[in-house]
Structure 1
Amino acid sequence: MVALVAFVAIALVVSFFCSVFESVLHHLTPAYVINLEKKQSCWAGKVRWLHDNLDRSLAAVLTLNTIAHTFGAAGAGAQTATVFGDASVGLFAAILTVLILFVSEIIPKTLGTNGWHKLAPYTAVCVGFLVKLQMPLIWLAEQVTRQLTPKHKKNDYLREEISAMADIGEEEGALLGTGSDLLKNMLRFRDLKIIEIMTPRSVLFTLPESMDAETYLQTCPDNAFSRVPVYSDEPDDINGFVMKNDILMAYHQRGGSITLGELKRPIIAVLENESLPRLMSTLLEQRNHIAMVVTEYGDIRGIVTLEDMIETLLGREIVDESDEVVDMQQVARQKWAERLPSQLH
């Protein structure tokens, strides 16, 4: 009878801890490991090893769990037949199955799922010992699984998972609606092209560089743009931009005869298919706020600003009291629709 209890106890207890360890391993995230390292936790090194050797750790846990189940069930079955007779083996098998289901599967995995943050350090210590103890078996398992594992692992669903987590965070109250939208906009930011957010050439507000400050103040008293592209001969010949504040300051200090060409600043040119993150990095590094968008042949497509990129991240237009139009791309499409019928006749 003592041997029977011992076999059952070994099967259930060992399997209980193995199921807890397995649940913790499946829930261990890179963010949790990085957070421990930032806090300089004494457990950080062990948990990092556990995360980086996840396949070995799972192999060690599953191997021990299988041995415990097999050894415990076989030994308990034999002892049951000896103590209670062969007729009782079927009933005992049913009882043991229920015990294994609850004691070594449902309960421990529920505990591991709900408390993996607290259990991860202890799991790292125990599983590390199991890996060393079962290294020959783990090595053999690695040789088999290596043939089934892609050489270059790539998680194609990571961005979708982060986006889904943002929605869950908003539903649970961990993120505000704006925070969730910002996170999702950041994920799609790198896939957007400049041409999708720029102000098209057809609706650009530009001025000739030959215009003087006095004429500017007379003809554009209500100009709401802080930066205005300037051109030499034709509107398509944009060769720089002027700051509204520079014009006003020059007018008061040097008189109204000073031209916009004397005040213009160089404008950088970027290809229309350039990625937004790269352009944003360039503008910030060069302390610029505006760029001219061109084709590979040098034709001007429009203007893009740092504000356009911030609006894309926020998911909404930044407008103030002086903005009469919110979406310049929509205006460009309307103008094109108005011109199209006349061009067809």
Structure 2
Amino acid sequence: MEEFLSVIPIELIGVLICLLLSAFFSASETALTSLSRLKTNQIIDSERTGANYLKMWRDKPNHVLATILFGNTVAELLASFLTALYATQNFGKSGNIGEMIAFILVTTTILIFGELAPKVFARHNAEKSAIPVIIGLRIFYYLFYPVTELLMFISKTFIVGLGGTHSATGPFVTEEDIEYIINVSDSEGTIEPSKKEMLEKVMDLEDKVVREIMVPRMDMITIELNSSYDQVRDIVINSRLTRLPVYDINADNIVGILHSKDLIRSEKSDDIKTDIADIMREPYFVPETKRIDELLKEFQKTKNHMAIVVDEYGGTSGLVTIEDILEEIVGEIRDEHDEDEELIISNQEGVLVINAKIDLNSLEKILETEFPEDNYDTLGGFVVDLMGKIPKTGDRVRYKNFNITVLEASKRKIIKLKIEKDKIHKETETLPKKEVT
């Protein structure tokens, strides 16, 4: 063995050692950066030997990266220097063709075996490689510590000078991580479809605004401020609602929220309160454009269960409750007092009779078509916008290859519609009003 080593030039042995170090540092960088913070903590919490060493990467990632980059740079520069030294000694002065060939060979070798191959391997074996590489890196971490500290100081100063931040803190789990976990769990059958759907709805909360889920102003049950005690009690009993908005003059001026339990409490007291203003609570107002995930947090913080939704001009658009938000996650919540309201009244031979309140997202799936996005969420709102007026019973309009007929309407809104699909696609057009006899 000694005779064999004595034949090999010391410079080439040095190049080989530098190449191995470069491969180690390259693999370390890729293996560690390929792990999410979630996966890193899972490995740390496991009982695998050496798993605790990953705390160094989790808590000081910038310092570990500085160690890796400094070590890799030194190894590659030293390999190039030793190659040049060997070539000079054996092929003559600098510029000799032999020296150039040697330099090209070592550069190619470093690129393939010191960079590319180790990184590809570590990328596909990140979890298996993480513990071995971090154990090895601990030696270089303390060996290079004075140098890496100086490099980190210079780097931070430069970054801050450019107006950036050097903080390595990021989200523990990203939204993409959660979506990936949900999809993998679904494909592997480890999560029930209903739970998958619920989790996806939670993820979608940030994409929805209050206007999409609110009870519109037309459907609000309200109490006039000057109503008598008996009138208020009758409204509460008949509506079977626990909270009712109180208005003064008109619904654009909501002045309070009446809780049914406050009404009952006042009824049981010796001095029955007949003035709503004495027992109603302050209303909570939110804009139409507020995201419902933000509103849910506000409900939890303020302990409110109902908010009055206002438009950009301050007028009342509707109301939203915490139940409305929860229904976006778990689906329709009904109690023994809720009356069923069919949205699809009938569906026979390509003819649909539909409640005008049906939301367009649901209807798109049923009809396998798309509706334009605008300031409406229901089929009724879409038809009103399409016709440019509040239609009367019997009015018809055409959209794509669908004939839409108003079956029932009031002076203020559409109640029921019929949709017929034909096989010929035409442009949107308004048809003459149907004669009613």
Same fold at TM > 0.5 = yes
Question: CA separation in 1, counterparts of 2:166 and 2:332?
Answer: 40
3-state secondary structure, aligned to 1:147? helix
How far apart are the structure 2 equivalents of 1:67 and 1:215? 82
Corresponding position of 1:30:
37
Alignment partner, residue 179 of structure 2:
166
CA distance in 2: counterparts of 1:30 and 1:95, whole angstroms: 39
User: What is the distance in 2 between the residues matched to 1:41 and 1:295?
Assistant: 58
Cα deviation, 1:1-33, whole Å, max 9, x if unaligned, reads 422430231121111101111112322322223
CA contact (8 A) 1:7 1:75 kept: yes
- The answer as to 2:284 corresponding to 1:270 is yes
The aligned residue for residue 307 of structure 1 is 323
Q: Is the 8 A contact 1:12 1:100 kept in 2?
A: yes
Corresponding residue for residue 251 of structure 1: none
Aligned partner of 1:48: which letter?
K
SS of the counterpart of 1:149? helix
Is this contact kept in 2: 1:11–1:73, CA < 8 A?
Answer: no
Structure 1 contact 203–332 (Cα < 8 Å) conserved: no
* CA drift at 1:62: 1.5
1:56-108 Cα distance to aligned partner (Å, 9 max, x none): 21221121112212222222332245456655333333332332222111111
Take 1:182 and 1:153, find their aligned partners in 2: how far apart are those partners? 35
Aligned to 2:332: 318
Rounded Cα–Cα distance in structure 1 between residues aligned with 2:136 and 2:204: 42
Letter of the 1:271 partner, please give it.
Answer: F
TM-score, structure 1 normalization: 0.68
Q: What's the secondary structure of 1:323's corresponding residue?
A: coil
RCO greater where, 1 or 2, for CA within 8 Å and sep 6 or more? 1
In the alignment, is residue 198 of structure 1 matched against residue 214 of structure 2? yes
2:244 paired with 1:229: yes
- Deviations 1:261-287 (CA, angstroms, capped at 9, x unpaired): 99xx96662221466445424545787
> Structure 1 residues 170-179 or 109-118, which shifts more?
170-179
Aligned residues: 321
Aligned to 1:121: 131
8 Å CA contact 1:289–1:305 kept in 2: the answer is yes
SS of match in other structure, 1:272: strand
Tell me by how many angstroms 1:113 deviates.
Answer: 1.0
Partner Cα separation in structure 2 for residue 169 and residue 102 of structure 1: 37
Q: Return closer, same or farther for 1:50/1:214 CA change in 2, 3 Å cut-off.
A: closer
Matches within 5 A, 1:1-345: 1-2=7-8, 3-36=10-43, 39=46, 45-83=52-90, 87-150=97-160, 152=165, 162-163=175-176, 166=179, 170=183, 173=187, 178=197, 181-182=200-201, 184-188=203-207, 192=209, 194-206=210-222, 210-211=230-231, 229=244, 231=246, 236=251, 239-240=256-257, 269-273=283-287, 276-277=292-293, 279-281=295-297, 283=299, 289-293=305-309, 300-313=316-329, 318=332, 322-324=340-342, 325-327=357-359, 330=378, 333=381, 338=389
CA RMSD, Structure 1 to Structure 2 (Å)? 4.9
User: Which residue in the other structure is 1:257 paired with?
Assistant: none
TM-superposed CA distance for 1:306, in Å, is 2.0
The amino acid that maps onto 1:18 is F
Aligned match of 2:362: none
- Provide the secondary structure at the position in 2 that maps to 1:302: strand
Distance 2:212 2:247 in 1: 27
Change (3 A) 1:154 1:63: closer
Is the contact made by 2:30 and 2:122 (CA closer than 8 Å) also made in structure 1?
A: yes
User: Does the 8 Å CA contact 1:230/1:241 hold for their aligned counterparts?
Assistant: yes
- Per the alignment, residue 407 of structure 2 pairs with none
The runs of 5 or more residues in structure 1 that have no matched partner are 244-260
- TM-score for the superposition, normalised by structure 2: 0.56
Contact 1:269 1:291 in 2 (8 A): yes
